[in-house]
Structure 1
Amino acid sequence: MMECSWKVLLLMVFTSLGIQYTAIKSFRMTPAPPCSNMAAENRCGHIKDNIRRALCEDVNSQRSKKHILILATSRSGSSFLGQLFNQNSDIFYLFEPLHTVWNLFIKSNDQDTIDKRSLVGAYRDLLHNLYDCDFYALENYIKPVPEDHVAPSLFRSGASNALCSPPVCNQSQRMDERECLNKCKRVNLTLASTACRYKHMAIKTIRIPDINNLRALAEDPRLNLKIIHLVRDPRAVLASRIATFSDYRPFQIWNSSGKKPQKVDMELIGNTCIDYSTSVETGFSRPPWLKGKYMLVRYEDIAMDPVKKANEIYNFVGLEWKKSLSMWIEQNTKNVTTYYNKFTTKRDSSKTAENWRLHLNFNIVQAVQQICNKTLSQLGYRVVDSVQQLNNLPQSLVEPRMFLPFV
């Protein structure tokens, strides 16, 4: 008689011993085939024991569901990439749910004394819960604790179509983020958990610094994890942060005057480059735990040909492409309005991908190139030696590169 996979048997052993779910969550196991070679609908039918059959069916159902993670940094184009999944009605998309964890840690601790290991561990645990459609886990980080599992608000919940639609929100028409926040501010976590179970799940985050932090999730047999690692030219990332965030005031002074103030902290952009390099080196080394789970994508490649790149991403994830996605991309990448919103996803993407070169002081460019030289080389970004090279937009700084998914 055919037996279920050894992973399921291990889960059954844990269950019989009364081990807590969190222990199972962190247990690492190497990939194994499904319960048998039978057709999917019959894989677990021969198992008479109810507990074993339930566990086996749970593993099979999770393996058919896609658990997508957009791994990115701030101001790298991740909001646009996230929309490629948010616009798909078959996907339950969440925008930065880990912000809730980060916000609580920041409020409860001095930023310089935060235990980064504990923080990353909390991120990882919450990701697992959300991929399992356990939205109640968010209540551990929402203060005051929601009553009757209704959160007064979630960080930028309006950026998720799933949270702005029935059954989570009683609104039938499509709304933009601002409309949703006005009409659907309160989030019923029970309804979100229920709605999530019938869809694929995609999560966008800028909180995970290194792909190696995701190994436990990648090796978990209950998840069908697909990691889209989004990178962008670090010089462009810094230029966008300078233009967007008020705490980059010293850089703004440097950028406008050309004179470097005494207190300019290059550590953040340096850490961004270190995180890029560490993750890319891991991905390029093709470890077994990332097989079939990792795809590196440059923002600039999406910007130059968004439909083509989006199709490649969908093909890697294993999702069917929809014509409505092509229409949405056309509407949101050919935008010619003069109105500028720093958080919008509507841009003329092919024209704005390298526009940072006209707005970033050459002295800052040189400083970033010195710190991030290795990263620029790894990802195929050319360095410049003069203001003339920097401002010569017809000569792209993005080398033609093919980064094939690890399948």
Structure 2
Amino acid sequence: MMECSWKVLLLIVFTSLGIQYTAIKSLRMNFTSPCRNVAENRCGHIKDNVTRVLCEDINGQQGRKHILILATARSGSSFLGQLFNQNSDIFYLFEPLYHVQSMFTNANGLPTIDRRSLLGAYRDLLHNLYDCDFYLLENYIKPAPKGHITSSFFRRGSSKALCSPPVCNQSQEVQENQCLKSCRKINLTLASTTCRSYKTIAIKTIRIPEINHMRTLVEDPRLNLKIIHLVRDPRAILASRISTFVDQYRSYQIWNSSGRRPHNADLSLIRNTCTDYSNSVETAFSRPSWLKGKYMLVRYEDLAKDPIKKANEIYNFLGLQWKEGLSSWIEENTNATVSPNFNKFGTIRKSSETIENWRLHLHLSIVQTIQDVCNTTMAQMGYQLVDNIQQLKNLSQSLVEPRTFLPFI
């Protein structure tokens, strides 16, 4: 039986006894110093049982970095995630929240619980995963794991840690396309144990709408959580979704070919994306104390234009060491000659030349509609509007304004 997270249960007991979150945070400040430099015995020198338990919990977490890549669908998040996955010092998970969403979605793709409850489930699972506790995740995987073993872990091939020894029973690491064949089943107890041997855990998700929804985790005194918030021109996002999710965006394909908007062309998804972007950047730009040193905004266009430079900036903000081989991986994956039938969910691109290629594939009518819907968002993030077909198709004039978004330190 996988070990339950008894520390979380203990904190729940504390809460029931009237110990508030702020009090726990205060306790952390009081005993952080004596815990920090304890070697073999860690917190064993502390006589008070409650303080010692909290000390052990925080001491174990303090040396570990927790990273959340917050993005939306078709914004370049898979590539950004690989900047962490390619680092052998990082335990990287690709979209584990997929299992939660799948559990609470019906056959028609509609949620079966309210938004607040779903976000709460997301936060709970993230907290457990950052604690290297995979037990809660088992409740969401379908079919349910047997003996903590499953073959239904979503996109496990996108995580090197899950495709390498000891989690994967191979003598060496295997590539993503080989992982599902060579390492078909995953032992979640072993994955949990392996996770604890890493000093950095990074998780990528497109299922958290706004940074505000992560405030409780960011403020958690036991987590050293930092958020990399990836944004992209909403016109480019929509163009990518139209070409990738064919069935879902069939009305947009008709619109794109005819220039006339069908009555069933639903703007709610892209409108929600822009609203979530605006709410998040408004929060970040107001520089709240809870985000200090915890948040970095990254435009996909800046990352694609100069990926090594931007990747170094991200690593510096997170306090990560640049690994040998990362630069060569970036060069190989951003300067590739791509065939017409390339994998749309992959990371191999000619990045610098495809940043604004959406302009050649999106009808002006759609572009102007999205500009009306997302006007505020685009102004916040430095994306210029177009008024006519000439401006749209002239790729020699970029629609991405030079902007510097400094991390909130």
Normalization by structure 2: what TM-score? 0.91
Displacement of 1:17 in angstroms is 8.5
Give the structure 2 partner of residue 362 of structure 1. Answer: 364
Contact kept, 8 Å, 1:30 with 1:289, in 2: the verdict is: no
What residue ranges of structure 2 are gaps of 5+ in the alignment? Answer: 1-5
Partner of 2:208: 208
- Shifted more, 214-223 versus 319-328: the winner is 319-328
The whole-number CA distance in structure 2 between the counterparts of 1:342 and 1:46 is 55
Q: CA deviation at 1:405?
A: 0.5
- Aligned position for 2:134: 135
Amino acid at match of 2:396: P
Give me the whole-angstrom Cα distance separating, in 1, the residues matched to 2:112 and 2:140. 19
Distance 1:62 1:96 in 2: 22
Distance (whole Å) between structure 1 residues aligned to residue 361 and residue 33 of structure 2: 58
1:158 aligns with 2:151: no
CA distance in 1, matches of 2:12, 2:69: 36
Summarize the Cα distance change of 1:236–1:178 in structure 2 as closer, same or farther, 3 Å threshold.
Answer: same
Contact 1:256 / 1:361 at 8 angstroms: preserved in 2? yes
Using the alignment, how far apart are the partners of 1:206 and 1:281 within structure 2?
19
Contact 1:34 1:60 in 2 (8 A): no
Change (3 A) 1:153 1:112: closer
* Structure 1 residue 35, shift from structure 2 partner: 2.2
Within a 5 Å distance, the mapping from 1:18-167 to structure 2 comes to 18=13, 27=21, 33=29, 35-37=31-33, 40-42=36-38, 44=43, 46-49=45-48, 52-107=51-106, 111=110, 114-167=113-166
Report deviation, 1:15: 3.6
CA distance in 1, matches of 2:395, 2:171: 45
- The answer to whether the 8 A contact 1:67-1:226 is kept is yes
Report what 1:259 is aligned to: 260
Distance in 2, matches of 1:160 and 1:180, equals 9
Cα distance in structure 2, aligned partners of 1:383 and 1:85: 33
The one-character-per-residue Cα deviations of 1:45-104 (angstroms, maximum 9, x if unpaired) are 541345533431320221221110000000000000000000011111000000000001
Report which stretch shifted further, 143-152 or 29-38.
Answer: 29-38
In 2: Cα distance, 1:12 partner to 1:188 partner: 23
Per-residue displacement from partner, 1:358-383 (whole Å, max 9, x unpaired)?
11111000000000000000000000
Give the conservation status (yes or no) of the 8 Å contact 2:338–2:350: no
DSSP-derived class of the 1:342 partner: coil
Residue 292 (1) aligns with residue 287 (2): no
Which residue of 1 is the match for residue 404 of structure 2? Answer: 402
Cα distance 1:167–1:261, how it changes in 2: closer, same or farther (>3 A)? Answer: same
Identity over aligned pairs, percent: 65
Residue 235 of structure 1 is matched in structure 2 by: 235
SS at match of 1:92: strand
Quickly say closer, same or farther: Cα 1:34–1:91, change in 2 above 3 A. Answer: farther
Give the drift of 1:258.
1.5
1:177 and 2:176 are equivalent in the alignment: yes
Equivalent position of 1:5 in the other structure: none
Tell me the residue number matched to 2:3.
none
CA contact (8 A) 1:380 1:398 kept: yes
Task: Supply the distance in 2 between the matched residues of 1:122 and 1:113 (Cα, whole angstroms).
Answer: 13
Find the aligned partners of 1:177 and 1:214 in 2 and give their Cα distance: 30
Deviations 1:202-259 (A, max 9, x none): 0000000111110110110110001000000000000000000021000011112212
Give the match's secondary structure for 1:107: coil
Residue 314 of structure 2 corresponds to which residue in structure 1?
313
Deviation at 1:36, TM superposition (A): 4.6
Asked whether the equivalents of residues 67 and 202 of structure 1 are also in contact (C-alpha less than 8 Å), the reply is yes
Residue 184 of structure 1, CA deviation:
1.3
1:350 corresponds to: 352
One-letter amino acid of the structure 2 residue matched with residue 391 of structure 1? K
CA 1:171–1:34 in structure 2 vs 1: closer, same or farther (change >3 Å)?
farther
Say if 1:169 and 1:17 are closer, same or farther in 2 by CA, change over 3 A. closer
Asked whether the 8 Å contact 2:35–2:43 carries over to 1, the reply is no
Shift in CA distance, 362/128, structure 1 to aligned 2, threshold 3 Å: same
Aligned to 1:6: none
**Displaced runs of 4 or more, over 2 A:** 11-21, 26-46, 48-55, 107-110, 172-176
Corresponding letter in the other structure for 1:379: M
> In the alignment, is the contact (CA less than 8 A) between 1:94 and 1:202 conserved in 2?
yes
Distance 1:99 1:112 in 2: 13
Query: 1-side partners of 2:12 and 2:37: how far apart?
Result: 29
Query: For 1:346, what is the secondary structure of its paired residue?
Result: coil
RMSD, matched Cα: 2.5
Give 1:223's aligned residue.
Answer: 223
SS at match of 1:335: coil
Report the Cα distance in structure 1 between the residues aligned to 2:7 and 2:346, rounded to whole angstroms.
Answer: 47
1:271-320 Cα shifts (integer Å, max 9, x gaps): 00000000110111111111111000000000000001001101111111
Which deviates the most, 48-57 or 87-96? 48-57
Give the direction of change, closer, same or farther, for the CA distance of 1:313–1:57 in structure 2 (3 Å limit).
Answer: same
Deviations 1:139-190 (A, max 9, x none): 1112332111112221111111011011111123333222101111211110
Preserved contact between residue 35 and residue 59 of structure 2 (Cα < 8 Å): no
Matched residue of 1:236: which SS? helix
Distance 1:321 1:76 in 2: 24
**How far off is 1:40 after superposition?**
2.6
